Structure formats: structure tokens, C-alpha cells
Amino acid sequence: MWRVGLVYAGICLFAVAIIVKVFLIQFKEGDMWRAKAKLLTTQEFVVDASRGNIYDTDQNLLATSLPYYEIGMDVNTEYLQRLSDSEFNRQADSLGFVLASLLKEKSRREYYQELKTARSSGDRFVQIAKEVSYKQLQIIKKFPLFRLGKNKGGFVVLQTSKRERPFQMLASRTIGYEREDIKPIGLEGAFNQYLKGTVGKRLMQKIAGGVWMPLNDDNEVDPEDGSDVISTIDINIQDVAEHSLLVQLAKNNADHGCAILMEVKTGAVKAIANLSRKDSGQYVENYNYAIGAATDPGSTFKLASLMAAMEDGYIDLNDTVDIGNGSCKFFDKTVVDSHHPEKSRLTVAEVFEQSSNVGVAKLIYRYYARDPQKFVDRLCKFNLNAPLGLAIPGEAKPRIKNRQDKDWSGVTLPQMAYGYELAITPMQTLCLYNAVANEGVMVRPRFVQEIRKKGQLIKKFGPEIIGAPPICSRKTVEMAKKMMEGVVLYGTGKALKNNTYAIAGKTGTAQILVNGSYKDHNKKATYQASFVGYFPADNPKYSCIVIVSAPSTGEYYGAQVAGPVFKDIADKVYSTSLEIHKEINAVQPEYALKAPVVKSGCLKDVRLVLADLNIKTSGEHGKSGWALLEPGDSATVTISLSKVETDLKKNVVPNVIGMVAQDALYLLENNGFHVKINGSGVIMKQSLEAGTKFTKGTTIELELT
């Protein structure tokens, strides 16, 4: 019995301890434990801000965030728990029917069964749908149960956003994207600090099933929307550039290509297209070759080589070089021209126009063989050895070899002269040609002109000059311009010549490295065709470069493969840019300097029209009444007040000649005349002579011009 008593006493003591602990937890430590419980079941979640829009230069949307909604239901609110099973099932069945009709993601029975099962198991949240549009949300709010709101009907809405590009593939690589844990691309990545906005906060509670549900209808801290980026892209020109490039790539079965259009003075990039072929044969924008691919530029680099020799005072356009039969040898390297020359000696201008590899290589080797570094240094002064410092990420680093480099050899100098053994991007090539068009001033390409928030200007981006301007003397610029104009007039770019506006530029055809070799296993070369230049040649406004890489249908020369894309872009820009058109008439014709014929009529209307058209007037100026108008001197109209109203008050037939029928009818019929009208235009004759007496009911015939 003593053992039983001992166990009994122990149990009693344990019971007392439990009661004491419960008391302490409930009353003394209650606040602390309740706070900890709340921390475990309640948490602040980040609410993403609505990302800013990206526009083209004419305010067309390039990228925007559209609101989408995740909807769910708390099937065990107090109100719904009070409903009988039969009533809940009836309304859940109706809800399932309308959800299935609108969303078409599940059947009516599937929606109904989910809601019924959740109610019986005590679940507090059922996910109904993701990515519901705003328009769909407004309809869903009126559905059975949901129309009762969150507290009664258990309707839960979580807003998200989805990035959309209205023009789909157009400029997609330049627009880019910004995603967590992924390298940022294009404008989305470069200007993320402006676009992303400021996040908000929302209090959520963890309920049965581990589901987080908002505690309140509104956010605790509302997010602040991001700013809008106004780009320099013109979507209409972009469309032409991408379509024309796509046509040429497909026609020549090329691997990839790019095209860039830039404003000469400002560096504003108006269009930038990058297309590459997938295994399926479809062309897509998946890499920005224009800024990310540094390759041997080939013949387009001859401009830099000849400009270097011109700037150092070695050559001018009329100097000559012997090219023989279009072939020469430097050590173990044979340099050949793509076409057999028409004559053995060419001027510097002809070397450039006919794109002679031999001519350029001989000229550069003649003057720089003893000091190759001088040639390299001159190229560096053209800013060809450093990245352009573009706003968008992904720019490739160029390479201009130095004399001290380990891979410099005896053939490096002549090879560099016509665009080999170096690497620059298409954008860097374009910048050099643009600098020539811009009188030697090199400007940094830019993709954004403004940052705006709710319509208010936050930041403006203007032209930026690269290096110390100019990159060369005025004399060198003028010689370079003449060479480029000659290419289109007489040389390899004659296919681009037209009678409407002049183009200046350079064709390029270069062999490109594939797996470290200029030839494949079949000993066939892979080529890159290009054309770069500016227009109009006599007053440059835009520069452009087009590159088509690895065409495989037999054509690979720049004028035939890349030239058509350049011309399509230039034609589009010229036809839509009135400011670059020549005046139709330099001197205004005589009739344009005279004041026009003006019909007589209401003085107030006449004065309004003449003032709006900036037509000078003379004569009597009243505030109201009817006016007679006659041409004054060559540039003015003489106004005199008509006596028509005064005559009518005296029952005298007024003079309505020169008026339009509308005004004459108003005056005459309101004063008792029966009016007959013959013809249209301006009144030139009236049947009753002005100044004679009349009585009400008198008929007057008006003959119009």
C-alpha cells in the first residue's frame, strides 16, 4: 500500500505542476507566446512594383507589364460554415459551371469536386486559377459566392504582372530582359534601376495546408511603380530593317546577320536588328551580333587604313600604286584581289572604289613597314582599340594588335591593312564611318533619350563625344568622303546608286574564322558580306551598317548580299523624313508670294481665317458686320465693310456679288426675299440691281460661278 500511495502522491504532484505551468503560460507568459505564435503564422511578403514601360521614339509601346491575377477561395469562412451542405453544394456547383465556361481550364465537375472536398477536409484555401486577366477578373467578381467578397464568400485575389512585348520579335534582343539569377540583357537590364520601381509589403497568414493568405484587402505598404524609358528606336524603321534582313538571310541561306541605323549628329540608334538561323531554319533574335561579335571586318576596314596614311601625310587621293595583275606576296602570304584589275596602276581613290586588297596592303606596307607601331597608334587615335562604352550590356572588346604582341608577324601589317588579324564589332565599324559623316567627331551610340515617371521628365540623355574630337583633320575627312562617294558612283557599290538621293559607303567581303580556320573540311571559305555608309551623301543625316554572315548559296559580295538591306532601310528613312528632302522649288514661284483670293463674308470669320494663315490685311477693320475683300498689293488683302445690312434695313437691294450662297441666303431670306440659286461657288450675278427698292416676298435670282 505504501508503494501505491507513493505513486498516487507522485501523480498528484505532477498534476499540480501541469496546472501551475498552464497558469504561467496562460497568464504570465501569455503575451510572449502569443507573439511567437503570430510570428510563426503571420509574415510580411514583398509586393512587386509595376515595372515601367519601354517606348520607342514616337511613344509606341515596346515593353509593358500587364496585370494578371491569381484567384483562390477560402471555403471555410464563418459565413460559408453556417451554410448547410446542400446549400453550399448547390452554389459550388453553379460556381464550377461559370468558372469552367469562362476559364476553360477544368470541367464544371472538377471545380465542384475541389470545393466540396476542401470544405469537408477543413482546408482554408483552394487555388482556382493563375494568370487571370483584368477583364476576366471583373467577370469573376460577379460569380456565385465570389460576389459576396472575401469575408463572406471567401474570394481571394493576388495580383501579379507579366512582361509583354506588343511588337513580339521586333528589337527583342535590344529590349532584352531582367530576371533573377540571369545575366541582364538589353534595355531591361541596363535601365533596371529606373524600371523596377520600389516594392511594397503585404501581411499574409499561414492557414491550414501551409497556404499563405492575405490578412487584409489592401497592402500594408503600396509598391511604387517604376519609371518609363523612352528609347531612340523607331519601330517603323526597325520593322523595315528586320524584314529586309530576314529576306536576305533566307534568300542566301545565311547563318546570321545584323543591321544598325544611327543618327549622324546625335548617335541615336533608330534601328538595330539581329537575326540568326535555328536548326529548324527559322530566324530569331537570340544574340546581339551588332555589339557582341568582334570579328575580322574585312574590306570595310580599308577606310581606317587609308585615313591613317592620309592623316600622317603619306598619301592623297591622286597618288598611285602598282597592283600588277591583282596579286602580290609578303613573305609567305599571297594577297590577291577578288576581281582581276582593269589596269595595273590605280590611284588611291580607285584602290578604295575597287576594293583592292593588293593596293591597300602595298600602300600601308610601303609607309609603315619600318615602324608598324605608328600605324597601330594612328588606329588607336581613331578609338578603334577600346569598347564604345554602350549603355546596354554585352559589348565585345575589340582587338588591334600591337607590335609587341607575341602573335605579331611579318605579314600582320599588310593583313591588317585590308581588315584581317584584328577584331572589331559592327557597331565600332559604324562609329568610324559615322565620324567621317560627322566631320571627324565620333559620338557614342545611344539607345535611350529620356526617363519619365508619370509623364514627368526624370533624366534626359544627349549626345556624347568619344575621345578628343576630331579624330582626324578636315582634309582627311574630305578625302574619306570623296572615296566613299566614289564607291557608289563608280566602284563596287554601284548597285546602290539612285537619282533621288546620294549614298556614300563601302562594300566589304571577308573570310571569317570557323573553328579556328578560314576554310572548312571541304576547303571552302566562309564569308561575311557587309555594306556600311551614310546618306544623303551631300548632307549626312543617318549612318547604317548591314552584315550578312556565312551566306551559302554562291553569292557573298557585300554589294549583292548586304547592299539590298542597306538600300531598303535608306529608302524607308528618306521617304518618311521630310527634313532631309531637297526643296522642290528653291525659289518660290510668283503665285506663292501673292495673297490668295478671299471670298466676301462675315467679318469675324474672315479675320479669324486670315490671322490663322498669317495673311496680312489692310483697309477698314471693324468688330462685326459683313466684309468685302479684294486683293491689295502682292501680299495683302484689302478689307472694306459692306453696306449690305444697312441697305436691307432701308428696304434697298444689297450688293451680294462675291459672297458665297450660304451667307447671301442667310441675309436675303431673313429680310423677306424668295431666293433662287443657279450653280455653285461664289455669286457673280444677281437678278435685281443693287440700290433698288424691294418689298417682302420679292424673288431674286443669284447666278454662281
Q: What is the CATH number of the domain that holds 171?
A: 3.90.1310.10
Q: How confident is the model at residue 25 (pLDDT cuts 50, 70, 90)?
A: confident
For 13, the domain range is 1-29
Mean pLDDT comparison of 16-30, 98-112, 522-536, 606-620, highest-scoring range: 98-112
**CA dihedral in degrees (677, 678, 683, 686; nearest 10)?**
-70
Spatial distance between the Cα atoms of 574 and 571, rounded to a whole number of angstroms = 5
Q: Are residues 498 and 563 in the same domain?
A: yes
Spatial distance between the Cα atoms of 536 and 236, rounded to a whole number of angstroms = 20
Which stretch of 171-175, 194-198, 355-359, 648-652 has the lowest confidence by average pLDDT? 648-652
pLDDT at 298 (0 to 100): 93
* Residue 450, Cβ density class (10 Å: 0-12 exposed, 13-18 middle, ≥19 buried): middle
**Domain-terminating residue out of 537, 559, 580:** 580
Q: Are residues 258 and 226 in the same domain?
A: no
- Identity at 272, one-letter amino acid code: I
Choose among 125, 141, 144: nearest CA to 74. Answer: 125
Decide if pLDDT at 201 tops 70.
yes
Mean pLDDT comparison of 102-111, 159-168, 387-396, 505-514, highest-scoring range: 387-396
Q: Are residues 548 and 678 in the same domain?
A: no
Spatial distance between the Cα atoms of 474 and 664, rounded to a whole number of angstroms = 68
Residue 480 lies in a domain: yes
Q: Are residues 268 and 190 in the same domain?
A: no
Spatial distance between the Cα atoms of 306 and 350, rounded to a whole number of angstroms = 12
Sign of CA dihedral 73, 79, 85, 87: negative
- Grouping H, G, I as helix, E, B as strand and the rest as coil, residue 323 is coil
Residue 576 lies in a domain: yes
Q: Which grid coordinates are listed for 594? A: 501673292
Question: What number is the average pLDDT over the span 16-36?
Answer: 78
Q: Are residues 53 and 25 in the same domain?
A: no
pLDDT at 202 (0 to 100): 75
Q: Are residues 24 and 105 in the same domain?
A: no
Q: How confident is the model at residue 265 (pLDDT cuts 50, 70, 90)?
A: very high
DSSP H helices, 324-400, are 348-353, 357-368, 372-381
- Identity at 120, one-letter amino acid code: S
Residue 38 lies in a domain: no
Instruction: State pLDDT tens for residues 269-292.
Output: 999 999 999 999 899 998 999 999
Q: Which grid coordinates are listed for 210? A: 501551409
Q: Which grid coordinates are listed for 398? A: 575589340
Q: How confident is the model at residue 178 (pLDDT cuts 50, 70, 90)?
A: confident
Residue 586 lies in a domain: no
**Domain-terminating residue out of 527, 559, 580:** 580
Spatial distance between the Cα atoms of 504 and 488, rounded to a whole number of angstroms = 6
Q: Are residues 639 and 670 in the same domain?
A: yes
- Identity at 567, one-letter amino acid code: K
What is the 3-class SS of 279-309, one letter each residue? CCCCEECCCCHHHHCCECCHHHHHHHHHHHH
Instruction: State pLDDT tens for residues 96-128.
Output: 999 999 988 889 999 989 888 888 887 777 888
Question: What number is the average pLDDT over the span 473-485?
Answer: 97
Q: Are residues 71 and 16 in the same domain?
A: no
Question: What number is the average pLDDT over the span 516-520?
Answer: 59
Percent of all residues in the chain with a pLDDT value above 90, rounded to a whole number? 50
What total number of domains does the chain contain?
A: 4
Q: What angle do CA 295, 300, 305 make, to 5 degrees?
A: 100
Residue 658 lies in a domain: yes
DSSP string, 416-432: HHTT-S-BB-HHHHHHH
Question: What number is the average pLDDT over the span 426-448?
Answer: 97
Instruction: State pLDDT tens for residues 609-623.
Output: 878 877 777 776 566
For 205, phi and psi rounded to 5 degrees?
-120, 140
DSSP string, 222-286: --BPPPEEEES--HHHHHHHHHHHHHHHHHTT-SEEEEEEEETTT-BEEEEEEEEE-TTS-EE--
Is the model's pTM score more than 0.75?
Answer: no
Residue 36 lies in a domain: no
Choose among 440, 473, 436: nearest CA to 313. Answer: 473
Task: Give the residues across from 185 on adjacent strands.
Answer: 177
Question: What number is the average pLDDT over the span 627-641?
Answer: 68
Spatial distance between the Cα atoms of 292 and 296, rounded to a whole number of angstroms = 13
pLDDT at 52 (0 to 100): 92
Q: How confident is the model at residue 482 (pLDDT cuts 50, 70, 90)?
A: very high
- Grouping H, G, I as helix, E, B as strand and the rest as coil, residue 522 is coil
> Do the Cβ atoms of 450 and 472 come closer than 8 Å?
no
Choose among 624, 618, 676: nearest CA to 645. Answer: 624
Q: Are residues 262 and 209 in the same domain?
A: no
Decide if pLDDT at 519 tops 70.
no
pLDDT at 547 (0 to 100): 96
**Domain-terminating residue out of 580, 613, 628:** 580
For 393, phi and psi rounded to 5 degrees?
-75, 165
> Do the Cβ atoms of 508 and 530 come closer than 8 Å?
yes
Decide if pLDDT at 520 tops 60.
no
pLDDT at 364 (0 to 100): 97
Q: How confident is the model at residue 515 (pLDDT cuts 50, 70, 90)?
A: low
Question: What number is the average pLDDT over the span 362-374?
Answer: 96
pLDDT at 607 (0 to 100): 79
pLDDT at 484 (0 to 100): 97
Residue 259 lies in a domain: yes
Q: Are residues 179 and 197 in the same domain?
A: yes
pLDDT at 503 (0 to 100): 96
> Do the Cβ atoms of 229 and 52 come closer than 8 Å?
yes
Q: How confident is the model at residue 74 (pLDDT cuts 50, 70, 90)?
A: confident
- Identity at 162, one-letter amino acid code: K
Mean pLDDT comparison of 32-41, 67-76, 409-418, highest-scoring range: 409-418
Q: What angle do CA 469, 472, 474 make, to 5 degrees?
A: 100
Decide if pLDDT at 164 tops 80.
yes
pLDDT at 621 (0 to 100): 59
Q: Are residues 450 and 560 in the same domain?
A: yes
Q: Are residues 405 and 263 in the same domain?
A: yes
Instruction: State pLDDT tens for residues 379-403.
Output: 999 999 999 999 999 999 999 999 9
Decide if pLDDT at 596 tops 80.
no
Spatial distance between the Cα atoms of 477 and 470, rounded to a whole number of angstroms = 10
Q: Which residue has the higher pLDDT, 340 or 231?
A: 231
Residue 587 lies in a domain: no
**Average of per-residue pLDDT values in the chain:** 87
Spatial distance between the Cα atoms of 214 and 156, rounded to a whole number of angstroms = 8
pLDDT at 333 (0 to 100): 92
Residues in the chain, overall count: 705
Distances (CA, A) of 342 to 350, 354, 408, 527, 626: 11, 10, 34, 24, 79
Which stretch of 7-21, 186-200, 279-293, 627-641 has the lowest confidence by average pLDDT? 627-641
Instruction: State pLDDT tens for residues 659-690.
Output: 888 888 888 888 888 888 898 888 888 888 88
